[in-house]
């Protein structure tokens, strides 16, 4: 039996990450997976990277998300392909601010992160962690997607368990032959519950059981820190942290 903690989409929210990791430590898991989008939007990208690097040094499996590409190298076309006419200024401003807040060592760490990691859980159950879906950092596994699209996206891996984030909405979806485990967001959640979401997962001989967990943090302090920064769009980012709902 393998016990796994999955988190994703911290988005520079260090207090939310710290609360999540404190709860994870109580569970004495065998592995920690982090599914990308580490630094943009929140008030402390550098502190977040420091915490994640320490987690990685302890053996965590960490991958890059689409927004990490925007922050590290300003490749907005790769990070946000849905914006055919260019990304909004609010996104560009947040990426540039986070870039400037990070040291060269922080940026190099973001650049070297893989886009996928795999581990074998239990006896022979393959677990994949990626930001959005197998083979993609931007094509998510949204709840509203057509089942045929979901089938196509999950079929591009042999993994029994597919661990993702990207949508900011936690979900565990058992397709029978595969299980999609979406951690939601440990820092910028959209499901209306203003706490950090993550998943505690148990894999044992083909049986996959997951529980969505929530970790409370000081949402007002984080929202105020975002508002005080004064970037374009920060009023909406702060409201999102306060309410747990996407405000824009």
In-domain check, residue 130: yes
* pLDDT of 205: 86
DSSP states along 3-55: EEEEE---TT-HHHHHHHHHHHHHHT-SEEEE-S--SSSSS-HHHHHHHHHHH
Task: Flag whether pLDDT at 122 surpasses 90.
Answer: no
Q: What is the pTM of this model?
A: 0.97
In-domain check, residue 248: no
* pLDDT of 136: 97
> Binning pLDDT at 50, 70 and 90, where does residue 48 land?
very high
d(CA 208, CA 247): 34
In-domain check, residue 119: yes
* pLDDT of 206: 84
What CATH number did the domain enclosing 179 receive? 3.60.21.10
Tens of pLDDT along 124-183? 899 999 999 999 999 999 989 999 999 999 999 999 999 999 999 999 999 999 999 999
In-domain check, residue 201: yes
Domains held by the chain: number? 1
Q: Are strands 61-62 and 31-34 parallel, antiparallel or unpaired?
A: parallel
Neighbour-count burial for 116-133, b at 16+ CB within 10 Å, e otherwise: bbebebbeebebbbbbbb
Q: Do the Cβ atoms of 111 and 65 come closer than 8 Å?
A: no
Length of the chain: 248
Task: Flag whether pLDDT at 6 surpasses 90.
Answer: yes
- Structural domain span for residue 68: 2-243
């Amino acid at each position: 039996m393998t016990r796994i903690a999955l988190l994703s989409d911290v988005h520079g929210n260090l207090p939310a990450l710290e609360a999540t990791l404190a709860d994870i430590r109580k569970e004495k898991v065998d592995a920690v997976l982090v599914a990308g989008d580490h630094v943009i939007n929140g008030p402390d990208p550098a502190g977040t990277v420091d915490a994640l690097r320490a987690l990685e040094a302890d053996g965590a499996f960490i991958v890059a998300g689409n927004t990490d590409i925007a922050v590290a190298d300003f490749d907005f076309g790769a990070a946000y392909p849905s914006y055919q006419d260019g990304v909004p200024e609010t996104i560009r401003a947040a990426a540039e601010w986070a870039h400037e807040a990070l040291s060269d060592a922080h940026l190099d760490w973001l650049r070297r992160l893989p886009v996928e990691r795999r581990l074998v859980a239990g006896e022979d159950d393959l677990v994949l962690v990626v930001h959005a879906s197998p083979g993609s950092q931007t094509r998510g596994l949204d709840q509203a997607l057509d089942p045929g699209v979901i089938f196509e996206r999950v079929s591009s891996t042999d993994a029994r368990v597919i661990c993702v984030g990207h949508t900011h909405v936690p979900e565990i979806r058992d397709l029978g032959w595969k299980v999609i485990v979406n951690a939601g967001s440990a820092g910028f959640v959209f499901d209306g519950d203003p706490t950090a979401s993550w998943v505690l997962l148990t894999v044992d001989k083909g049986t996959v059981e997951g529980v969505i967990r929530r970790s409370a943090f000081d949402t007002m302090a984080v929202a105020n820190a975002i508002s005080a920064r004064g970037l374009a769009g920060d009023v909406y980012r702060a409201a999102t942290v306060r309410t747990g709902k996407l405000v824009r």
